Structures are given as C-alpha cells and as structure tokens.
Structure 1
Amino acid sequence: MYGEKPPETTDVPQPPETRVQRIPVYTTPDAPVGYRIERTIGLCWGVAVRSRDIVNSTVAGFRTIGGGEIPEFVHLAEMTRAEALQRLEEHATQLGANAVVGARFDSTSIAPASEIFAYGTAVVVVPMTD
C-alpha cells in the first residue's frame, strides 16, 4: 500500500520539546484567502539528506526484479521530505516569518543518499480587515 512503512524501518526522530511552532507553508505565491502579506522577508529553505541502509537497499534491489513500487524507498523519501519541510518552517521562523509562500521541493541523489531541498519565500501575513 502506498506510504505504508516497511516494518524494518524506523520513524523520523521526534523533534525536541523546544521545536518552533509550525507555520503554514503554501505552494501559491500569494497569501491565503482572508490574509495579506504585510512584509516579505525573503528566501528560506530546509535541507535533509538521508542514506539508505544496507538491509533496505538489498530488499529494494530484489523488488526491482519484479518491477513496481519500492516501499522501502517511498518511506525514505517521505521521511526526508518531512524533515526538509520541518527545517524550512524552522528557518522561516528564525527569520521572523509567520508563513511561507511559493514553497517548492527539489531532490537529488548524492551517492548512496537522497537529498530533499525545500524552499520558499518567508513572509509575515496578517488578517485582512474590512
């Protein structure tokens, strides 16, 4: 099943209690309905790189023989994406933003690892007043 975690993998480590509060991240370049961008701060990003472990890589190698989805790599990609998104939110918050607009993801392979780069524009949004 899509997104199902293989039993031999572990979850993303839980963030510490001091983690910044989550902020909204939008893929659109504008503020959400009912809000306006009061101030544009600028580029913010989050990068995560995770390596494949030998057990999952071996199992995944056998799965490629029959074709189809490789759950071990799907889970790795999902964990890496979540970590990059968390770091994007943390960076935006450190810059003084309360939202991110124009968010995008990029990915690449670095030898035996996968890199996910999340980026967007850090902004301060405020509710629109009538």
Structure 2
Amino acid sequence: MIYSTTETVPGGEISEVLDIVTGNIVQSKHIGRDVMAGIKSIVGGEIRGYTEILTEARNKAFQRLGESAQQKGADAVVGIRFTTSAIMEGSSEILVFGTAVKLKK
C-alpha cells in the first residue's frame, strides 16, 4: 500500500478513485500520566507521557485507515490528512482520512 499526502503518487498513475477512507480513535487521558503532566506543567517542557499517548493513538488511526483501504481493494491512499477534536474533557479524537485509489499497472 502506498500512502501520500499529495493528490498523486509519484511515478504512478491513478486509474480509479474508489472511495474516501478513514481511521479514527478516541483517546482518553491516563491517570498516571496526569500526575506527571501536572508536575511538568509547573516546571515546563514537553509532557512526554502525553506525546506517547497521542503517537500511539495516531498510529492506530493510521493503521485503521490502511485496513479500510485494503478492504476496498486500493493500491494507494492519496490526499491523507490528520485532524483532532475534543470529545469531552480529558479525551480527544484523532481522525485520519484520504482517498483510496487503484493505480494503473
């Protein structure tokens, strides 16, 4: 599977647009990491626990995008974008979306 944030695949030609595909996850805070985040907010700097949580969530959402594209028989996903939104206090959704396409052989 080829993934691209551009609307084309370098060296490839799109023969068919299949569908929009998505992958998402709603991730909540972790109480143990909240304690460390509270301490870190006093002294400043990166809150690595939250960075790790969001990285894991983004990777899971991206994996789900790939699974959705494979189910549609895609060779590639183009125009990939990520977005986030707050669902409720302490949790957020990470959504990745793009267009599943077939490439000329």
Matched residue count: 104
Unaligned 5+ runs, structure 2: none
2:4 maps to what in 1? 26
Query: Structure 1 residue 109: deviation in Å?
Result: 2.4
One-letter code aligned to 2:55: E
- CA separation in 2, counterparts of 1:25 and 1:63? 36
Q: TM-score, normalised by structure 2?
A: 0.92
Query: Higher strand fraction: Structure 1 or Structure 2?
Result: 2
> Deviations along 1:7-49, whole A, 9 cap, x unmatched?
xxxxxxxxxxxxxxxx2210000122x2100110121100011
Q: SS in structure 2 opposite 1:35?
A: coil
Unaligned 5+ runs, structure 1: 1-22
**Out of 31, 34, 37, which is 1:60 matched to?**
37
- CA separation in 1, counterparts of 2:23 and 2:96? 5
- CA separation in 2, counterparts of 1:60 and 1:76? 12
- CA separation in 2, counterparts of 1:51 and 1:73? 10
Query: Higher helix fraction: Structure 1 or Structure 2?
Result: 2
1:20 maps to what in 2? none
Q: Quick one: higher RCO (CA 8 Å, sep 6+), 1 or 2?
A: 2
**Out of 89, 110, 122, which is 2:100 matched to?**
122
**Percent identity, aligned pairs only?**
38
2:91 maps to what in 1? 113
2:24 maps to what in 1? 47
Q: TM-score, normalised by structure 1?
A: 0.75
